[in-house]
Every structure is written in structure tokens, then in C-alpha cells.
Amino acid sequence: MSKAFASHADTEEKTVSFEKLSDNAYAYTAQGDPNTGVIIGDDAVMVVDTQATPTMARDVIRRIREVTDKPVKYVLLSHYHAVRVLGASAFEAEQIIASRETYNLIVERGEQDKASEIGRFPRLFRDVESVPDGLTWPTITFDGSMTIDLGNLEVHILHLGRGHTKADTVAWLPDQKVLFAGDLVEYQTTPYAGDAYFRDWPQTLDRLMALGPEKMVPGRGPALMNAREVHTAVAGTRAFLNDLYDLVNQGVAAGKDLKTVYRDTYAAMQPRYKDWVIFDHCMPFDVTRAFDEANGITDPRIWTAERDVEMWKTLEG
């Protein structure tokens, strides 16, 4: 293969930041690695996304304990991807919250996704054997929306529509205008769209922006500290998705095969997006999913470790 598979060449440890967005909201970020959000009420703490393993999550816990001794009562899963959820056990939370569709996706493809992501991200899955019982299972599910009171602080949990996955969930602090967006929004980082709904995602972003967020924890990239940065991140995510899907759709309409569409799309997008984190990692997965959607395959096919490697050899070999 001409390029190292997925993120196998990404071996450098990242510098972690733990930033305060409001009196109740913090962002744990690490130079394009998956982010974790922390929400602190008078009585309890909610963690939004957990890192990939309990070992990785313990550094989040250390940062939380620097600012509060309140118990971590809730973990919220923004979606089902293993790199977001497998560290949950470290928090010893009373409840793990996810949308009903996220629960269904864990049932349908959680084991395959776990094997796939461990194969792609060896650095992020440090001590993966420490994950108990293999998968993280929600204890509370919801349809549409729900509200959790952390003690004089209500957290609105919302499923705004399909995008990065079928079941993306955000956490919203309306009085403080702080949004925890999960991978619906990335900043200075390439959106992973291997399980996406390209035609739905822009409309979901419209609903997200209609909330009026002025600060945000994106799925990857630095915390967004003002409305201008939020707008820039959402606009960048939208532009990437539209550019990629338009190019792929044009290739499909012209009768080109997947490898040709991939080469053409990569060449067209590289000048604008090549400096975004994990660009080379995401592009084969993103184009493959867009090619399927443009050919009428509505729901993403399940990625397995074997399918990952086969696809990579076809497009990058």
C-alpha cells in the first residue's frame, strides 16, 4: 500500500487542553483526537463521550477532579462509534444515556465497529483489553429529546437528525448557549463520513445552528469560544460534505467506478483540505460511503476490520 493504513502512521502523542467554556461547561481536547465534554451542576457531573478506553478516560477524570468533587452521575454517548464510548466504565456513572437509534446501532454493528476502529486507530485504543464486557451499553434511551437536571442546571439532550450517523445526539445548555455537538461538527479536522447520511447532514446542521450556539465542543478540534468560531466550524463541516458528495455524485452520474471517483475526488479536494487532521485517513471511507449513497444505498454498510483493509487496498494500494 502506498500510504500507511488509516491512522497507523499517527503515533505522536497529542497535547491535551482542558478549557472552561462557561461556569458549568468544559472541553477536553487533544489536537484533533476525539473530544470529551464535561458539564458540572450543583449536584452531579455529566460527561459527553468517554474516550476510547478506560485508560484514556482516566486522564479526563483527573482533569474533572481538578475543578470539582461532584460525582459523575451521567455519561452521554453522542453516537455509537467505539472511539467515543468504550472508556465509559472508568467513570462509574449511575446512568449511560443514548438515543434509541444509537442503542439499536450498537446491537446491530457494535462488535464489528469495535474491531474496525481498533484496527484503524492503534494509538487511541491504549489498553483496549481493559474494556469490560466488550461493549458499552446504554442504561437510558430516548426518542427525540430528554432533559437531565444536574442541580440548578438543565441539560437538554437532542437528536436533531441524521448526519455523521443515523442517531447523532447533542447536549445543549440553552441559558449559556453552549453546545456539545459530537461529530456533527468538526473544526480544523476532516469529518469522518463512513457511516454518514450526506444528503441529510446539512439539514441537521441547519437545525443545530437554529439553537443559537455561541460556544461549542466539536467532535474533534479545539473548543469554540465565540459565535464566530462556531459559525466557521459549521460552515467548514458543511463545505467539506457538500464538496465531497457533489464530486462523487458527478462521478457516479458519469458512470465512473469507485476507484476512479476516489482518485478524482481526492485530487479535487486535497488543495483545500489536505491540512485538516486525518484527511488521508477519512477520504477512502468518506468517498466509499458517498459512492454508495449516490448509487441509492440509503443506509451505511457495516464496516468490519476485513472490509476496511479490502477497501484500502482497492483505493490506496
Q: With a cut of 70, say whether residue 215 has pLDDT above it.
A: yes
- CA 260 to CA 248: how far, in whole Å? 10
When divided into structural domains, the chain yields a total of 1
Taking only the tens place, the pLDDT of each residue in 154-194 is 999 999 999 999 999 999 999 999 999 999 999 999 999 99
Q: How much is the average pLDDT of 29-47? A: 98
Give a yes or no: residue 3 inside a domain. no
Domain around 131: 17-316
What's the first-to-final CA gap in the chain, in angstroms? Answer: 4
Residue 262, H or E segment? helix 258-273
- 38 assigned to some structural domain: yes
User: Is there a domain that residue 1 lies in?
Assistant: no
Q: Does 288 score more than 60 pLDDT?
A: yes
pLDDT of 129: 87
- Segment 15-31 mean pLDDT: 98
Q: Does residue 144 carry a pLDDT above 60? A: yes
Asked whether residue 304 is assigned to any structural domain, the reply reads: yes
Position 295 in a domain: yes
Instruction: Give me the helices (H) in the chain, please.
Output: 54-65, 82-85, 100-120, 201-210, 227-253, 258-273, 279-294, 305-316
pLDDT of amino acid 308: 98
* Whether residue 25 has pLDDT greater than 90: yes
Spatial contact of 32 and 12, defined as CB atoms under 8 Å apart: no
Q: Residue range 239-254: average pLDDT?
A: 98
Its pTM surpasses 0.95: yes
Give residues with Cβ within 8 angstroms of 263, minimum separation 6.
none
How is residue 34 written as a grid cell? 476525539
Q: Which H helix or E strand runs over 146? A: strand 145-149
Q: Can you give the pLDDT at residue 2?
A: 66
Mean pLDDT in residue range 116-134? 91
**Residue pLDDT, tens place only, 299-316:** 999 999 999 999 999 999
Q: What mean pLDDT is reported for the chain? A: 97
- Reference 199, options 225, 170, 233, 162; nearest CA is 162
Placement of cell 470529551 in the chain: 36
Q: Is residue 4 part of a domain?
A: no
Q: Give domain status of residue 125, yes or no.
A: yes
Q: What is the mean pLDDT of residues 88-100?
A: 98
**pLDDT, tens only, 268-277:** 999 999 999 9
- What CATH number corresponds to the domain at position 271? 3.60.15.10
Is residue 12 one of the residues assigned to a domain? no
Per-residue pLDDT, averaged over 6-35, amounts to 97
pLDDT tens profile 45-92: 999 999 999 999 999 999 999 999 999 999 999 999 999 999 999 999
Q: Is the pLDDT of residue 1 over 60?
A: no
